[in-house]
Amino acid sequence: MTVGRRLAALLCLGSALFALSACGEADFSEEERRVIATLSLSALGELPPDPSNRFSDDPQAAAFGEALFFDTGMSANGEVACATCHLPERQFQDDLALSQGIGTTHRRSMPLANVAYSPWQFWDGRKDSLWSQALDPIEDAAEHGFDRVAVAHRVASVHSEGYEALFGPLPALDELPGRAGPRGDAAARSAWEALSDGERRSVDVLYVNVGKSLDAFLRTIRHQPTRFDRFADQVAAGRGPGEDVALTPLEIEGLRLFIGKANCIDCHNGPRFTDDHFHNTGVPPLPGLPDDRGRAGIIERLLDDPFNCLGEFSDAGEGDCAELRFMVTDSPELERAFKTPSLRGAASRPPYMHSGQIATLDEVIDHYSAAPEPVSGIGQISPVIFTDRGRQALIAFLQTLDEEVSDP
């Protein structure tokens, strides 16, 4: 063999070895392959129906819900819509530590892709369906600042055609005041109490139908496959990924940390990178905000909610609502426990935690490295020591979970 041919052969061998090291596929154990496969969007099953909402998968309801989602007229000042805090171009969240509606809220908005898979909504899980969740901000003084009768009037004046095509004739509203509701200001609450039982019920039914339509729209918001998903599918199939889906050596290191000694996968598992459970990770309260007990602070409210799965406005059958029926209601582990957020897209949506207490991913890793004791309750994380290389690797892997933007 000539020197030139030997050099060419070495270059080819070097290229092949680099390709193997870049994808890392050949080095994965069978258990690692199995775990990686569980993280791909390909492993996400069909979205189950919502038994509490018979309109949940109705395309006409989804179209009506979309119109409501972007309607700023569904607020006290005519300037706040659901889309104000859930921006479509920003993963349906707003990049703020504390979301801003009529006023400033106490929490960070969560992205909406695939939230319909979760049995609990909000950081504390105080709602057990998307339709019930969608109603909460409308009456919240810091968010939409609206009330139920005002919603009814808005639907009648702007959305009557869409509403009646789904739910039939609107109730008679001519004799009702302009504002009235159980969660409004003193005047609105007084006006609500002055209504007859029949008037309140007819408004509640309309209000619930608004929520169920918003639910139908929210169920259509889905994650899109990322570079990691294409890589994971190739690994699961036992094939080396092609050049277009290979992860870098640093990203592979981060993936191995994530599913290995960093213990991230204990809570951030499955195709949505969340266990949908509630954990106290020692995140400190934000000074100046009301005390926030997380899951422990909302159990009574959830059980008494007239809009929960067992309530009179639910479409669920006798054997449904298992999550609500059998949920844990009294445990020290609920104290200051907050819902595990999905990590899909997380690398590009700081700040982090339920009130934006942590500004960057580097600082998030610092927090989990230190595993500080919570101010109350039981801490559920253990310290993990990261090298500088390990930190870089973990962040590099998380960036592979960002959806790729196509060139126009």
How does pLDDT run across 6-45, given as a tens digit for each residue?
Answer: 433 333 333 333 333 344 455 899 999 999 999 999 999 9
H/E segment holding residue 278? strand 278-279
Tens digit of pLDDT for each residue in 254-273? 999 999 999 999 999 999 99
Q: At what angle do helices 30-39 and 227-236 cross, to 10 degrees?
A: 140
Tens digit of pLDDT for each residue in 212-255? 999 999 999 999 999 999 999 999 998 765 656 689 999 999 99
- List, by residue range, all CATH 1.10.760.10 domains of the chain: 17-47+226-294+336-399, 59-218
The band of 404, judged by pLDDT with boundaries at 50, 70 and 90, is confident
For residue 306, what pLDDT is reported? 97
- Selected from 3.40.309.10, 1.10.760.10, 2.60.40.10, 1.20.1560.10, the CATH number assigned to the domain covering 17-47+226-294+336-399 reads 1.10.760.10
For residue 284, give both structure tokens: 């400190």
For residue 240, what pLDDT is reported? 65
pLDDT at 400 over 60: yes
For residue 170, give both structure tokens: 């609107």
Tens digit of pLDDT for each residue in 96-130? 999 999 999 999 999 999 999 999 999 999 999 99
Percent of the chain with pLDDT over 90: 89
Residues 394 and 257: beta-carbon distance below 8 Å = yes
For residue 42, give both structure tokens: 């390909």
Average pLDDT over residues 370-381: 96
For residue 240, give both structure tokens: 């080396």
3-state helix, strand, coil in the chain (%, to 5): 45, 5, 50
CA–CA separation, 235 vs 141, rounded Å?
A: 49
- Residue labelled with tokens 């609450």: 189
- Residue labelled with tokens 């060139």: 407
Contacts of 127 (CB under 8 A, 6+ apart): 120, 121, 133, 136, 302, 305, 307, 308
Q: At what angle do helices 160-167 and 197-218 cross, to 10 degrees?
A: 90
DSSP at 291: P
Contacts of 98 (CB under 8 A, 6+ apart): 104, 105, 106, 107, 108, 286, 355, 356
Within the chain, what is the greatest distance between any pair of CA atoms? 99
Minimum mean pLDDT range among 44-58, 199-213, 227-241, 377-391: 227-241
Q: At what angle do helices 388-399 and 249-259 cross, to 10 degrees?
A: 90
CATH topology of domain 59-218: Cytochrome Bc1 Complex; Chain D, domain 2 (1.10.760)
Instruction: State yes or no: cis peptide before 182, omega within 30 of 0.
Output: no
DSSP at 355: T
For residue 244, what pLDDT is reported? 61
Tens digit of pLDDT for each residue in 270-304? 999 999 999 999 999 999 999 999 999 999 999 99
CA–CA separation, 408 vs 401, rounded Å?
A: 21
- Residue labelled with tokens 């994530």: 258
For residue 340, what pLDDT is reported? 98
pTM (2 d.p.): 0.92
Distance of CA 357 to the CA centre of its chain: 18
